Structure formats: structure tokens, C-alpha cells
Chains A and B, each alone.
Chain A
Amino acid sequence: MTGDLGTALTSGAYITASITKRLSNTLFLAVWAAIIAVPLAIFLGLLAVRFKDRWPDKLISAVTLASISIPEFLIGYVLMYLIAVKLRWFPSVAMINDGMSLGEKLSAIALPVTVLTLVVLAHMMRMTRAAILNVMQSAYIETAELKGLNGFQVIFRHAFPNAIAPIVNVVMLNLAYLVVGVVVIEVVFVYPGMGQYLVDHVSKRDVPVVQACGLIFAAVYIGLNMIADIVAILSNPRLRHPK
């Protein structure tokens, strides 16, 4: 075990060196997508619970379901056509390099981040909604209501802390997807990340590179799921403070 990933068969370049650059790009994209998607999903989930079976709930459900049902490459091209080509707000190709400022970089990745957000939003939002609705059946929610708290106070103070474990689980799964599952988006937007690197080398039958990518993707996946389990333990006082 040396951590040396070897050299690529096709170019003879060190895999570690080229993968580091690619990985940091992928993480940059994933982190920005997560920063927008996770709070938005949880907020929409809480909103859906608060107005359960009324129009805000139905609207949120319909929009998020539609966005998860349409294939991401299609959303990608449609957005590219509308926003980049027609409106000319953001560039259609998400090329970034070290010479760009943060603002320029963000402008470049605006479209892929939007698509990724739309893809992962529905899953997290629906899980948040389901987990909190499940907790809302508990007797202590009735106690909270009988204390004269308003709807949001009940949901936020009393329901949410008990729904953290399932929510964190599904959030982590989606974060892993943001890192691991971006292959399609990176190809669509020609983004210089891990996904494109992987696809390039799969087409060239460059096994060591594919192995290295698989290794890193697996590590990310396991790492994030472990964080989910740890957070679940920390959020449960029964596990934190045994009798």
C-alpha cells in the first residue's frame, strides 16, 4: 500500500497528478451544487409538511417529481439552449482553469450546478417530507401543539430534531451521487472533472485509470455514508447518553 496509482497506459502520465486536478474540479462542482440543493431541499420539505395537502405541497411535489423524471442530459441541453443560447446569461460550456477568479468560475459552472440541483432536489425533499410527516404522528407533537406553538415552531423545534437521522442518510446518498454520478453532466457541459476523465479513458480501454477512478468513487461513497451514520448517532440522545 503506497497510494501510488501508477501510470496511464495511453499517455504514460502519472495518474495521481492528473486525477488530483480533476478531483478538485469535481468536488468544486459538487460542493456548490450541495450548498444550494441541500438547504433548498430541506426548506421545501418543511414547507410541504407545513402546508400538507394544500397547494404549496402539491406544487413542490409536482415540480420536483418532474425534474427527477426528466433525464439529466435532456435538462442540461434544454437549459443550455434557453439560458446560454437564447438569453445569453451564462456560458454553455463549463470550462474552468486556474487563471479564473471565483466569480468567473461560478458563472462558468452555473448551468451544471442548476441541473445537478434539479436532479437531487426531489429525492431529498421527498424524504424530508416523509420523515417529518412520520414524526408528526407522535404524541409529543400533540403536546407541542397543545403548548400553543405555531405550525413552523412545532415542525422545526419538535419534529425536525427527531427526523435528522433519515434525512441525513438520504442527503449523504445524494452528496455521493453529486461526486460519483456526475459523469453525464460533465460530458454534456465539457467540464474538466473526474467523470469526463473516466469516460475518456474507458473509451481508450485504459484500465489503470478506470481502476483509480473506481477506487476514489468508492472511497467517497463509503466516507459519506459513514458520516451519515455518525450524525445519526450524534442526533439521538438515547445513543449519546445511555441510561
Chain B
Amino acid sequence: MSDLQLQVRDLKIGATVYPPGEKTHDIEIVHGVSFDLEKGKVLGLIGESGAGKSTIGFAAMSYGRGGVKITGGEVWINGRDVLKSDTGDIRKLRGGEVTYVSQSAAGSFNPAKKILDQVVEAAVEQNKFSRKDAEARARDLFEKLGLPDPENIGDRYPHQVSGGQLQRCMTALALCPEPDLVVFDEPTTALDVTTQIDVLMAIKAAIRETGVAALYITHDLAVVAQVSDDIMVLRHGDMVEYGPVDQIINHPQEEYTQALVSVRSINHEEKEPNGEPVLCVRNITARYKGTQFDVLHNVNVELYPGQTLAVVGESGSGKSTLARVITGLLPPREGEIEFAGRNLSADLAGRSQEDLRELQMIYHVADVAMYPRQTVGTIIGRPLEFYFEMKGDEKRKRIIALLDEIELGEEFIDRYPAELSGGQKQRVCIARALAAKPKMIICDEVTSALDPLVADGILKLLLNLQKIEDVAFLFITHDLATVRAISDTIAVMYQGKVQRYGGKTKVLSPPFDDYTDTFCSARSPRCVWAGWKR
């Protein structure tokens, strides 16, 4: 019993909502969740957005974000119920016994203060250490977390270090006061793929070494499988399944957990290039106006009808710039683009309506890609009017057929984007692109803003549509699992160059060049996890 760090019993959390046009009322967002956490153990909380993961994490610090209130239950930390503690006690708890690592270290560090001052602040304020000892401890932690120049990095301001380094500093901030429990709230989600794994490993090592108990909140099962001892799966504020990692990953009992575990298990056989390529990008070099260096260097790729070319790479590698060049938004300095057997004009103004129709695009965030005051019918109907001059009944029939293709019913035709979920919005965007009967669609990170299960559905839909419509996809992503699921050809980009190019099997099997090696191992949590699944 004495080793029990955190004991949560029947925790209920509510919030006040202000829906427009309706009366303000209270809703319950977490409905009675219970769990235990022992010293030195890590509990992973996993679920889609809105599952109440972060809210539970905050409850361990007796904190409610915004209008969130803890309405019932007990949270025992070190033998006392923190929900019944007074303000002074809670203050001692926060920053002393329980600390917090947020998703965005960039936002969570005060831009006007030096890193070291912020890292030691809680430890000094809670009288855990003297200022001098706390600083020594902070430097020690910087070193353990693999930060460069641990002696002096604390004298920098937050904007002077990179995102990955800042996230490690945030971990140091949380560990500095020698807490008994650390709440990690999606600490690697906002980072670049190659940085993610470094930070994750540093966090894992730091947890092991300091022996703290930790709550690890994430939506990525692969990550949680790496760091936790136990996993709790949450959905809509209810506990779905709770058990040791091995049991959840290998023998999930509940249907929802099984779906989560089998996500991204789409099996897509690589297709051989056949016929004339629909898109040929030749020797493209491009730079942005007013800059002095090239963002793309001599890029060559080809895409065949009915196939998928995945362009992968970390942010800043030139993936999206390539899409801008192909769509004509950024005329290249050198090189040419051949599309469906004809030369494409470098800038948008020089392209024919036929060029525009046959090359469509689906965007990263569906929310901002749709006009919020048009109905789904108007949104999908617009390309039909514009390219095919359809009207009235004919248009309506086609819209319904398209809605059917994206697995949404006729009733969606009069809805507004605000009434759709994230996945449904992205489906409408796909239908809009399909309405033009394109030969090729550029998909720019179309699944990265979605929850894993929803993203999975979108990928399946895209593959299905490819079969029916024989459309080619240029798929831009930083997620290697998505690439495995959908691509026929892969181009790995690094610093504006195509580092590796070819069929899926060839690109994803050794021998690797240095960069592809780091990139592939960057997703190693997934690889490891896939291995566990056998």
C-alpha cells in the first residue's frame, strides 16, 4: 500500500457548455474512471480526441482547464484525497509532488524568461531545493536528457533552442523538483518524426532512472506500448479496457481496443508501373520569391495512372513545395512538368481549364478548406457546375452518387461543414475533388489531423476510390505507416532533394542510405509494436 502513488476512484468530471441558441447547461465528460499507479510505474492513457485523457491528467493535479470542474470521486496521492485539499495544499502538490509536461513545450515556456530560471522555479518555490542545488540538478537532467551543452543551455531563451530540445527542457522542468508523479500530455505529438523517437527515448530513460510514477497520455498506441507498464483505453469519457501492455496489445478483449490495435494494418500490394505516366516531374529546381536558396533541387518523379506516389520526409524537406510547383502556385526556376502527355504551363494563369480539372487537391485541414456558410451540396456541386455545367436534377443526382461513393448518405446534402465530424469533413473534400473527374489528386497530409481510427477509414476509402475511378494519388505525408498502407512508389525527400526513389518494397528494404535509415527507425515504435503483434 505504501508504494501506491496515485489512486483514482470513480472520478467524474463535468463542464459547462454554451451552445449557441440554447440554454447553458452542464455535461459530464468523464463518467467514473478508476485506476491505481504504483511508484516507478507508467500508466498509458489512450483514446481518440475528446475521450477525456487530458482532463483526467489534469485532475491528478486537481486542476480543471477552462470551465472544467471535477464533480465527483476521489484522487488519492501519497495518502490524501487531493480533491478535498485546500488551496495551500493543492499549491504544494502542484509543482512539488505532481508535475506536468505539456504537448507544446514551445507554448508552455515563458518567452521572456531564461530556460534555467523556469526549470528550477517550481523546485525552489516549493522549498525542495536551494536555488544552487536546483540549478545543479537541472544541469544534471539536461545532460541525462541528451541536450547539447548542458552547462550553458539553461542560459538561453526558449526561442533559441529547437522544438525537440525544448520538449526535453520541459521534461527536465517536470523532473527537477523530484516529483512523485509526472503527467505527460502527448509530449511527442507536436514534434517532427525524426525528433519524436529521440525525445521519446530520452523521456523513457529519464522515467526509469528517476523512478517516478508517470501518467502518459497519447492517442498513439505505438508510443504508449513503448513507454508504459499498463494501458487504459478511454472512449467518450468511459474506460474501455485497462490492463498490462502485453494484454492490451496482444489479447485485446473489447471491440474498440481491437480496432485500435489493428489500425494501419491495411494490406496494399505494390502495383507495377504500367502504361504512360500521368505525371512526369523533370529536373525541378525551385525557390521562394525573395529568398536566396533553393527549396527543391533537381527533383525527378513519375506517377502512373491508378497508382499512388508517396512523398515522405520531415517538415522542411520540400514535400509541400513540390505540391505547390505541380499545382502551378510556385513556378519553378528550372525543369518542366508533363501531365497526361502534355506539357504543363509553369504558372497557374497559363493552364487550361482541362489542366485544372484533371489535377485536383485535398488539403491537410478540412475545416479551413471548405466555406463554412455553404452546404455540403453546394460545395460538391460547385465543380460540377464549373467544369461540366450541370444543373438541377442532373447535378443533384451526381452529388448523391458522389456522397454515396464517400460512404455518406443523401441526408448530408443540406448540412453545413460545422455539423460534420473531422472525418466526414475530409470525406466531403475528397468528394469535391472527385467531382471534377480528375486524373490525379494531390493529397497533402490528409490524415495527419485525424484520429487513428478515422484516418484508417479515410485511407481505406481512398484505396477503394482509386480502384473504381482509376485516379492517381500524389500522397504527401510524414508518416511511414501511412506510406506502407497506401503507396506503390515512394520518394523520400530530405533538404529539397529526392534521397531515395522507387517501388515501395525496394525503398523500404535495406540497404538504406543514412537518412532513410533514421527516417525508418524514427517510426520504430511502430515497427517494434508490429513485431509484438507477430
Contacts and interface: CB of A to CB of B under 8 A. Distances in A.
Contacts of B63: 145-146
Contact of A147 (B65, B94, B157, B159): B94
Given A139-B102, A237-B159, A238-B157, A146 B61 contact: yes
A139 B125 contact: no
Given A146-B61, A241-B160, A158 B110 contact: yes
Contacts of B99: 146-147
Contacts of A235: 112
B92 interface: yes
A160 to B, nearest CB: 9
Nearest to B91: A148
Interface residues of B, number: 31
Nearest to B93: A148
Interface in A125-159: 138-140, 142-150, 153, 157-158
A143 B108 contact: yes
Contact of A146 (B94, B126, B156, B160): B94
A142 B112 contact: no
Contacts of B96: 148
A237 B159 CA distance: 9
A161 interface: yes
Contact of B122 (A148, A150, A236): A148
B107 A140 contact: yes
Contacts of A238: 111, 157, 159
B251 interface: no
Given A143-B100, A146-B99, A148-B126, A162 B111 contact: yes
A86 interface: no
B405 to A, nearest CB: 41
Interface in B484-531: none
A44 B130 CA distance: 33
A142 B112 CA distance: 15
A204 interface: no
A157 B121 CA distance: 11
B110 A144 contact: yes
Contacts of B102: 139, 142-143
Contacts of B90: 148
A243 interface: yes
A236 B91 CA distance: 30
Interface string A221-239: 0000000000000011110
Contacts of A139: 102, 104, 107-108
A237 B126 contact: no
A139 B186 CA distance: 15
Nearest to A138: B107
Interface in B145-168: 156-157, 159-160
Contact of A142 (B65, B113, B122): B65
Contacts of B93: 148
A243 B160 contact: yes
A147 B95 CA distance: 4
Contacts of B126: 148
Contacts of A147: 94-95, 99, 121-122, 125
A161 B95 contact: no
Q: Most chain-B CB neighbours within 10 Å: which of A143, A146, A235, A238?
A: A143
A157 B112 CA distance: 10
Interface in B6-58: none
B216 interface: no
A159 to B, nearest CB: 9
Given A142-B65, A237-B159, A243-B159, A149 B111 contact: no
Given A147-B121, A148-B96, A148-B126, A142 B91 contact: no
B94 A161 contact: no
Contacts of B95: 146-149
Contacts of A148: 90-96, 122, 125-126
Contacts of A143: 100, 102, 108-110, 118, 173
Interface string B61-104: 10101000000000000000000000000111111100110101
Contact of A162 (B65, B94, B110, B159): B110
A207 to B, nearest CB: 49
A145 to B, nearest CB: 7
Nearest to A153: B125
Contacts of B113: 157-158, 161
B443 to A, nearest CB: 31
B125 A149 contact: yes
Interface string B155-189: 01101100000000000010000000000000000
Nearest to B161: A243
Nearest to A237: B157
B123 to A, nearest CB: 9
Contacts of B61: 146
A156 B338 CA distance: 61
A32 B48 CA distance: 60
A236 B111 CA distance: 8
Interface in A152-202: 153, 157-158, 161-162
Contacts of B157: 237-238, 241
A140 B109 contact: yes
Nearest to B87: A150
Contacts of A142: 65, 102, 108
B159 A150 contact: no
A237 B107 contact: no
Interface string A26-61: 000000000000000000000000000000000000
A140 B108 contact: yes
Contact of B94 (A140, A145, A153, A157): A145
A161 B110 contact: yes
A161 B100 CA distance: 23
B61 to A, nearest CB: 6
Interface string A108-128: 000000000000000000000
5 contacts: A143-B102, A150-B91, A162-B112, A237-B112, A237-B157
Interface of B: 61, 63, 65, 90-96, 99-100, 102, 104, 107-113, 118, 121-122, 125-126, 156-157, 159-160, 173
Q: Which 4 A-B pairs have the closest CB atoms?
A: A148-B95, A139-B107, A147-B95, A147-B122
Interface of A: 138-140, 142-150, 153, 157-158, 161-162, 235-238, 241, 243
Given A237-B159, A243-B159, 12 more contacts: A139-B107, A140-B111, A143-B102, A148-B91, A148-B96, A148-B122, A149-B121, A153-B125, A157-B121, A236-B112, A238-B157, A241-B156
